[in-house]
């Protein structure tokens, strides 16, 4: 997983106990190191205790941060005492990094409430947040208003904030690949390339015929094809898959990965039916599954907006994401449903998986042309879901997200599938339909909804709905 680097600002106010800055700075830096986070901070020789109070302190801190602009993913502003809100705010604004900011306040101890040791960080945090808001600087709060750096609560806050930083860093300037056009009937996966570009997300396109032509021209003994063929056979069980189909998958994988490398693409969305089956004789699902499993998400049906959600969650968690359909009800349980795809789900999602054929379209294009799916029951456990969508009518990017459980409830069906349980699932489904969202949703086997909410909403500036409970109004459910 990408190792986050945080700029650290230690706030100080002279007529409060300054010695707390020395010990506080040391403690915060120690905890950050223990959590695997790199830091950039003033030294004790740069300013008193390496803290920021005056305008000159702020200028020194800002200059240091600017010198490490390419490294710093976020900023932690910590207050061992009340702190000078102007100094900290000046440092952040003058640095001009436009990265997430975490505001932290040390707690006081009842036995240390004399003038020599009382911190008053509890109060100072409010003043700092007020100043940041005045300056239009977005910021993140800790779970507890004042919290000891060594506590488990703050460590969880740090990891959540690091995930937010990874998402923001990863999405800004990312390049995505769209291989082929969307399937003609799937107007649901239309997207605005211009809105994504404005958000710093570029889309590179390649006609599917070009990729298939390149794949057909690869020599039978090409080392890259042979290596990819071995990787496919070692990825999931392939006993029932014809050798010719595996060879075609290997060729397609080599072409796709070379295209990604040449164009610095982090993720892809691919036209997976039915042109490929009719003109190349295989489905790309296993190739896409392998890429997603390697944290290079690949979305089916050329769903670029869908792969944005997949990539964001992979950045947050360091685990593979999948794209599925909200597909079926589960018996008569209103908080459960079935998720499904044909499938290209990453192997990480399965307890056991095998390569098979695409049962849905086999009847129309021939079973022999549909080998390459990765099928099985997904493992039980917690997950986060996210759907990103571009709203041309309002000129915004929007998203919904939340968390749930993949259950072990009995189910016998085909493809890649599982049963989900989500609090107030019916409320979520109403929200999806009332706001015209797509039927696709990205899943990730980790709990990262809070970090994702902060990243997409607060720092990317998108319209985000975090589903926690039903939101009722006089006119019905929330609708944007």
Q: If pLDDT is split at 50, 70 and 90, which confidence band does 14 have?
A: confident
Q: 354 and 366 in contact (C-beta within 8 Å)?
A: no
Q: What are the tens digits of pLDDT across the range 295-312? A: 999 999 999 999 999 999
Q: If pLDDT is split at 50, 70 and 90, which confidence band does 220 have?
A: confident
What's the confidence (pLDDT) of residue 105? 98
The Cβ of residue 3 has, within 10 Å, a number of other Cβ atoms equal to 10
Q: Average pLDDT of the chain?
A: 96
Q: 17-21, 334-338, 358-362: lowest mean pLDDT where?
A: 17-21
CA distance 130 to 140: 13
Full-model pTM: 0.96
CA distance 420 to 306: 19
Q: What are the tens digits of pLDDT across the range 101-132? A: 999 999 999 999 999 999 999 999 999 999 99
Q: What are the tens digits of pLDDT across the range 166-175? A: 999 999 999 9
Angle, vertex CA 405, rays to CA 402 and CA 406, nearest 5: 125
pLDDT value at 286 more than 90 = yes
Closest by CA to 438, choosing from 324, 322, 288, is 324
Q: 268 and 299 in contact (C-beta within 8 Å)?
A: yes
What's the confidence (pLDDT) of residue 469? 58
The arithmetic mean of pLDDT across residues 299-328, rounded, is: 98
Q: How far apart are the first and last CA of the chain?
A: 35
What's the confidence (pLDDT) of residue 388? 98
pLDDT value at 477 more than 50 = no
In three state form, how does the secondary structure of the chain look? CCCCEEEEEEECCCCCCCHHHHHHHHHHHHHHHHCCCEEEECCCCCCHHHCECCHHHHHHHHHHHHHCCCCCCEEEEEECCCCCHHHHHHHHHHHCCCCCEEEEECCCCCCCCCCCCCCCHHHHHHHHHHHHHHCCCCCEECCCCCCCCCCHHHHHHHHHHHHHHHHHHHHCCCEEEEECCCCCCCHHHCCCHHHHHHCCCEEEEECHHHHHHHHHHCCCCCHHHHHHHHHHHHHCECCCCCHHHHHHHHHHHHHHHHHHHHCCCCEEEECCCCHHHHHHCCCCHHHHHHHHHCCCCEEECCCHHHHHHHHHHHHHHCCCEEEEEEEEECCCCCCEEEEEECCCCCHHHECCCEEEECHHHHHHHCHHHCEEEEEEEECCEEEEEEEEEEECCCCEEEEEEEEEEEECCCCCCCCEEEEEECCCHHHHHHHHHHCCCCCEEEEECCCCHHHHHHHHHHHCCCEEEECCCCCEECCEECCC
What's the confidence (pLDDT) of residue 35? 98
Q: 31-45, 136-150, 410-424, 466-480: lowest mean pLDDT where?
A: 466-480
What's the confidence (pLDDT) of residue 17? 86
Q: 91-95, 187-191, 234-238, 472-476: lowest mean pLDDT where?
A: 472-476
pLDDT value at 211 more than 70 = yes
């Amino acid at each position: 997983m990408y190792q986050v680097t945080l700029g650290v600002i230690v706030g100080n106010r002279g007529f409060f106990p300054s010695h707390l800055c020395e010990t506080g700075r040391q403690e915060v830096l120690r905890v950050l190191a223990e959590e695997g986070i790199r830091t950039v901070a003033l030294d004790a020789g740069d300013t008193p205790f390496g803290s920021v109070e005056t305008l000159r302190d702020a200028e020194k801190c800002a200059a240091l941060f600017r010198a490490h602009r390419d490294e710093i993913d976020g900023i932690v502003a910590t207050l061992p005492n009340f702190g000078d809100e102007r100094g900290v705010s000046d440092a952040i604004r003058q640095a001009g990094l436009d990265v997430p900011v975490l505001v932290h306040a040390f707690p006081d101890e009842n036995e240390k409430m004399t003038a020599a040791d009382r911190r008053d960080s509890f109060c100072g945090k409010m003043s700092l947040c007020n100043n940041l808001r005045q300056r239009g600087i977005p910021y993140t709060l800790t779970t507890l208003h004042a919290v000891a750096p060594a506590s488990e609560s703050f460590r969880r806050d740090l990891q959540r904030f690091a995930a937010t930083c990874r998402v923001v860093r990863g999405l800004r300037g990312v390049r995505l690949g769209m291989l082929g056009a969307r399937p003609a009937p799937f107007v649901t996966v239309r997207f605005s390339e211009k809105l994504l570009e404005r958000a710093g997300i570029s889309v590179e396109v390649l006609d599917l015929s070009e990729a298939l032509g390149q794949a057909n021209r690869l020599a039978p003994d090409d080392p890259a094809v042979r290596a990819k063929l071995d990787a496919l056979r070692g990825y999931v069980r392939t006993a029932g898959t014809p050798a010719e189909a595996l060879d075609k998958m290997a060729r397609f994988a080599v072409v796709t990965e070379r295209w990604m490398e040449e164009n610095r693409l982090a993720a892809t969305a691919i036209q997976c039916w039915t042109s490929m089956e009719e003109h190349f004789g295989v489905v790309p699902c296993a190739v896409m599954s392998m890429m997603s499993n390697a944290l290079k998400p690949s979305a089916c049906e050329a769903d670029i907006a869908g792969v944005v959600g997949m990539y964001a969650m992979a950045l947050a968690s360091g685990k593979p994401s999948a794209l599925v359909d909200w597909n079926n009800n589960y018996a008569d349980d209103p908080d459960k449903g079935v998720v499904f795809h044909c499938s290209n789900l990453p192997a990480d999602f399965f307890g056991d998986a095998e390569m098979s054929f695409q049962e849905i379209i086999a009847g129309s294009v021939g079973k022999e042309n549909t080998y390459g799916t990765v099928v099985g029951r997904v493992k039980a456990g917690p997950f986060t879901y996210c759907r990103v969508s571009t709203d041309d009518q309002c000129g915004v990017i929007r998203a919904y997200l939340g968390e749930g459980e993949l259950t072990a409830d009995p189910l016998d069906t085909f493809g890649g599938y599982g049963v989900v349980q989500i609090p107030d699932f019916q409320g979520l489904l109403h929200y999806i339909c009332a706001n015209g969202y797509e039927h696709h949703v990205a899943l990730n086997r980790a709990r990262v909804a809070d970090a994702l909410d902060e990243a997409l909403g607060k720092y990317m500036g998108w319209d985000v709905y975090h589903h926690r409970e039903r939101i009722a109004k006089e006119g019905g459910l929330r609708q944007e």
